[in-house]
Structure 1
């Protein structure tokens, strides 16, 4: 047995021994990848990654695997294959990789898994923006573990999720893939996902490191004009939490350039921040073709050898999805563009990952990879429904909801009878199956029409009204007639996810403003003229401006792409079976323009009387949501009024349920800094607790707030805790504050070292 195959040896010993035996070409092979193209000729009609068609051309299996291979790209996620066929393909690929490697080194198989395993017939969970609406890390961890178990069962080693991008502009198409606009919410939910996936034996991958979501004007891949302070305090924070507290094993770079420096060639980011400051010892993989983009898009490299040298030199270990630019690494070494030691460092990290995954153990046999698996098992669907139910947000209700038994219901709108509107961009039905129209969705997905009809029977009438995007008003008259003749109108509007302009939400589906797509806004106006009470149900991947009609609707419900069980979850909420508990992970704008920003803004970024005629305040704020019964928050108290610059205080919040049914509230704690040496957000979430109580039950939530949680990047660009007066605002949204608690931070200005307290633990004591 070779030393590197001995599982009794320390990982570093095994890696060092194998690395010493590899030639330069073999090392480069470990930093490359291959993406099998669809096996059915003529089926490829649309890209599932940016510029896929052109950039995949000319990359052959023989060339990619001649000296070994680092990664196998999306064996399951590229075309519809059965579990049996997918396993057969993966086993064959791995057998060939091992045979072509002088030392029999297998490849890491990676897949997308943001809304569940992106594979034919696999469960489609709610989109990530819906996770944000749950405010429930434990639930997201359970969901991620289920996803990881499916991936591991069929031989997948690494999942390209979760996104830890913080929303900065609602117009960006990938808002649906994020968990919201607040760094603390993104950090806690993203880290929960990491823990769940990795507990199932699959390495998680943080995306997109870093700055991608802050692109200028919300355009995909656009430059990020951001200063160091915002980058540190808003953008980097969730990644740091997932590295330090989640133990994530992989990170993917952002496509964007921040202040002119592309992330793929940013050594300060990929090595200085990620490895030297945070202690990350895992693998950095490129977003698809990001290394090539250094030459072709960013134009910071004169050719492929220079681009490859820049990326490896920065600390980017593996080029995905194909070995293209990294095929020129040997030439880069020969030309003196990069030292072979940089390549050795990356190869060592890749080999260590393969050791951790058991790929170098003597028992690894490609013929034994995976097993038959129901990828949409009943337990999955039950969990998908739970996430969907907890993600639906009730925004307004004059008493029309829950829908009364016996009332006639007009169900109208493009999201009423199109189940794909419930599914995110990275769900297999929307991501791939659009190229295979004869295959349907691959899994059972009811529409809202089906769900309400099953529950209410003949009381439900239906007409389309208008499509999602096309400017077709021919259905308006039928919609008006149906609404006018019904007791209540349920108007389901919103998005249909797609790729690169083929949808209204998703990667490359950015928008100019925040009006509902197509003529849906006009449809809402037409139905409102009937005088029939309107329940507006928005099924979307981003928030849309509802200020023109929300106050004329009897109720407003926001559903963020609730997944394959979305119809059941929405039906249960609308009929009162489920008491809605979702809270907004993004604000809902009042106007279609003038507010592409978020609640996390300094004073001049918020409403300023007499300064501007534009009011950026949302119609419904971050953290907001109603229920059919509500918990009550009592007066919160602090255990101390003075906090040393390195101390901790405790916030105690009484919570009770005076209602007649179980109810849930998200207790939210915000920080307000009275005076600081640099401008600070008016309020920023630093803690939250999702509390469910039975009728008549009461409890006390306690939050432990360390002084580090007040820290920020100061005028000298060092992280500091600054003495002075601050307050904690406890409430049920960023606007709905029940108690404001003032305290003083005492002592001298403290520079906070690496390894600070990153989160706010809480406990719940039930009476």
Structure 2
């Protein structure tokens, strides 16, 4: 044992020594380089410009080649072609005075060309290895195509489903969000920051720091206002987890925090991020956010560029504020050379750690890109993980489930999403090649060939307004879904449905409906889709609703009128993955990471709320006077956080505790026996929740603290254990100290946040 410890200690010391040497070498290199740089060259490193290939904001001109030759371009983003990337890199390396390489970035959000489910869907797997694997595959493909930096993961807690960017995060829970954030960072970055500068991966960028997902009324870019207590306990944990996982960069958010835009918020970017959390990487703004600070009423571009620099921003994304105004601010004494040098050093350090000074063309190879981009191995992984993400919300009755379907008889596939290739991948699929992807119609035809008859119809339009449908789709880079005659399409769908044994409806949101700037005031199915679904339900045939969405949606009517409902989170392999699940090759195992409301007016709706003085239990139907409930909605969610069905059934025993009392440095094991009482193998996500019953501040009614994915054969039982320590019980108190307070805690274990069994422990 002593010999093993000695070996481990020796290896650790060797690694530490290697890292120290690498840090010293980097510092010396950058010191010498910055000693030769002019002011304009330093400001150039702080300048990021967009390409003209992919639009993710208002169009701005960059004149990239000229800027690169003059040493005034630190980074550019969203170029897809490796030859273009290397050509521009060659200009920077060979024509600029000092040959400083450019950092190439891209919005690689849920895959490069092999597209995985939206991040909200990836979180719905509750499988951190799958989350890491998907990010790793995205990094492999992106790096082969010349990308060294992704603007992901987005880790904003999003409690209000009206906000379109709920799609890009992990949902409403800080613990689960933290696990997802860390897994994505590790998946993207791999060992790209190895001391030798030869590792594989791409640099991650945790965003949007901070609180972007808390926009009032779910309206994108809107005001954010909350207490520091809530920030630390509910919103900050995923950002902090991403930083602790080693994220190389952070993106500031558009919104204000304490009255100051995050891009110029020194408390956020310096006090919290760097001093409290120890972040040492690079901070980049969001798209033109320095320019947009003028609309917040904070002054001119020059004023705001200086404020952003002083706050801790290192790189200006396409606002031209740093490169255009900081020289004048320096001359006027509003910023110092030390401020500029600090930001420049952070940018140069990122490039050094990525190995760009050693090998400026190391990201990108046509041969490697051809080998790995959308390769068979990646497609199979995406198919498996996509199937794992689907959340089965309803399945007939317990005694008479509809799914899985038998691939026989006549099956109708109906809905506006059955023939689209660009929408099947979901939003933020910047490098997609839609020509390679399988539509739902094609996937079902392949799965049912020689087994069943498949009848298909579009059935309706996505929305009622043809001009809006086309304009917005093209604005987001999607091929518009054909706008059809509503009456004729409905008649065709009904005719087909009447000939079928079962009806599968693919509807919900297309890609451009869950993205940036896509807030919704009504979370129900759009009217033409609801009309179609109602008509199909009236045929009396069994109906399966495939609800494509990038947020929590309102399915109250649907839950009462259709036989089965499955939430679908998109992906390039979505069609094949759906066939795997619907026809029983794979049992669904996804679980919600957002609470799905009975009505839009309940938003923001989330499970880990603070208690009120007049509690009303979730599920209460009858109105209670002088109580916190709605006149016109059932209390609580339609489908709670953590909810999801399988093709089997599970039984939970009562909770067993190793002890009912623990000291501050002790531990308690809480366990249950889980039994698969169904007739087939399935996976259950066993969830641990804690409620601090008495504390110095009001604490949430329950909080997720751990979970396990457990796969059991039919009839199999297994003990599932959770170890509870101080880490699961601590919180930030009124003074923002992270503390464990003695007292009683309720331990809850169950399949979701609502259906739990409880036991009491005491911390002494």
When normalised by structure 1's length, the TM-score is: 0.86
After TM superposition, the structure 1 stretch with the greater mean CA deviation from structure 2, 518-527 or 8-17, is 8-17
Match of 1:478 among 485, 492, 498: 492
Q: Are residues 1:586 and 2:594 paired?
A: yes
Q: Which residue number corresponds to residue 448 of structure 1?
A: 440
SS in structure 2 of the partner of residue 703 of structure 1: strand
Q: Which residue number corresponds to residue 487 of structure 1?
A: 501
Q: Are residues 1:48 and 2:55 paired?
A: yes
After TM superposition, the structure 1 stretch with the greater mean CA deviation from structure 2, 524-533 or 605-614, is 605-614
SS in structure 2 of the partner of residue 422 of structure 1: coil
Q: Which residue number corresponds to residue 763 of structure 1?
A: none
Q: Which residue number corresponds to residue 30 of structure 1?
A: 45
1:26 Cα deviation after fit:
1.8
1:571 Cα deviation after fit:
1.1
Q: Which residue number corresponds to residue 11 of structure 2?
A: none
Q: Which residue number corresponds to residue 753 of structure 1?
A: none
Q: Are residues 1:214 and 2:203 paired?
A: no
Instruction: Please give the residue correspondences for 1:216-235 in structure 2 after superposition, counting only pairs within 5 Å.
Output: 216-235=216-235
Assess, with a 3 A threshold, how the Cα gap between structure 1 residues 59 and 679 changes in structure 2: closer, same or farther: farther
1:673 Cα deviation after fit:
2.0
1:400 Cα deviation after fit:
1.5
Q: Which residue number corresponds to residue 267 of structure 1?
A: 266
- Partner Cα distance (1:447, 1:37) in 2: 29
1:139-170 deviation line (CA, Å, top 9, x unaligned): 11111111111222233221111110111100
Instruction: Please give the residue correspondences for 1:457-536 in structure 2 after superposition, counting only pairs within 5 Å.
Output: 457=449, 458-470=452-464, 473-474=486-487, 475-498=489-512, 504-536=513-545
Q: Contact conserved, 1:422 with 1:539, CA < 8 A, in 2?
A: no
Instruction: Please give the residue correspondences for 1:244-263 in structure 2 after superposition, counting only pairs within 5 Å.
Output: 244=244, 246-263=245-262
Q: Contact conserved, 1:687 with 1:703, CA < 8 A, in 2?
A: yes
Q: Contact conserved, 1:212 with 1:254, CA < 8 A, in 2?
A: yes
Q: Contact conserved, 2:71 with 2:100, CA < 8 A, in 1?
A: no
Q: Which residue number corresponds to residue 406 of structure 2?
A: 404
After TM superposition, the structure 1 stretch with the greater mean CA deviation from structure 2, 340-349 or 190-199, is 340-349
Instruction: Please give the residue correspondences for 1:139-538 in structure 2 after superposition, counting only pairs within 5 Å.
Output: 139-199=130-190, 200-244=200-244, 246-295=245-294, 297-300=295-298, 302-321=299-318, 323-361=320-358, 364=359, 366=361, 370-372=365-367, 373-374=369-370, 375-398=373-396, 399-428=401-430, 441-457=433-449, 458-470=452-464, 473-474=486-487, 475-498=489-512, 504-538=513-547
- Partner Cα distance (1:368, 1:544) in 2: 40
1:61 Cα deviation after fit:
4.2
1:706 Cα deviation after fit:
2.3
Assess, with a 3 A threshold, how the Cα gap between structure 1 residues 7 and 652 changes in structure 2: closer, same or farther: closer
Assess, with a 3 A threshold, how the Cα gap between structure 1 residues 735 and 513 changes in structure 2: closer, same or farther: same
Which stretches in structure 2 are left out of the alignment for 5+ residues?
A: 1-20, 191-199, 466-484, 618-623
Which stretches in structure 1 are left out of the alignment for 5+ residues?
A: 1-5, 39-46, 77-85, 431-440, 499-503, 747-767
- Partner Cα distance (2:178, 2:672) in 1: 23
SS in structure 1 of the partner of residue 744 of structure 2: strand
Assess, with a 3 A threshold, how the Cα gap between structure 1 residues 642 and 397 changes in structure 2: closer, same or farther: same
- Partner Cα distance (2:269, 2:389) in 1: 34
Q: Contact conserved, 2:46 with 2:323, CA < 8 A, in 1?
A: yes
Match of 1:713 among 718, 725, 732: 732
1:134 Cα deviation after fit:
0.4
1:285 Cα deviation after fit:
1.0
SS in structure 1 of the partner of residue 600 of structure 2: coil
Q: Contact conserved, 1:210 with 1:254, CA < 8 A, in 2?
A: yes
1:60 Cα deviation after fit:
5.8
- Partner Cα distance (1:602, 1:731) in 2: 20
1:63 Cα deviation after fit:
4.4
Q: Contact conserved, 2:421 with 2:435, CA < 8 A, in 1?
A: no
1:699 Cα deviation after fit:
3.0
Assess, with a 3 A threshold, how the Cα gap between structure 1 residues 255 and 740 changes in structure 2: closer, same or farther: same
Q: Are residues 1:632 and 2:624 paired?
A: no
1:274 Cα deviation after fit:
0.7
1:23 Cα deviation after fit:
2.4
- Partner Cα distance (2:434, 2:719) in 1: 46
After TM superposition, the structure 1 stretch with the greater mean CA deviation from structure 2, 725-734 or 472-481, is 472-481
1:223 Cα deviation after fit:
0.7
1:317 Cα deviation after fit:
0.6
When normalised by structure 2's length, the TM-score is: 0.87
Assess, with a 3 A threshold, how the Cα gap between structure 1 residues 622 and 209 changes in structure 2: closer, same or farther: same
1:586-633 deviation line (CA, Å, top 9, x unaligned): 122222323332222112397464313254511111111111113433
Q: Are residues 1:67 and 2:64 paired?
A: no
Match of 1:549 among 558, 567, 575: 558
After TM superposition, the structure 1 stretch with the greater mean CA deviation from structure 2, 317-326 or 276-285, is 317-326
Q: Contact conserved, 2:598 with 2:634, CA < 8 A, in 1?
A: no
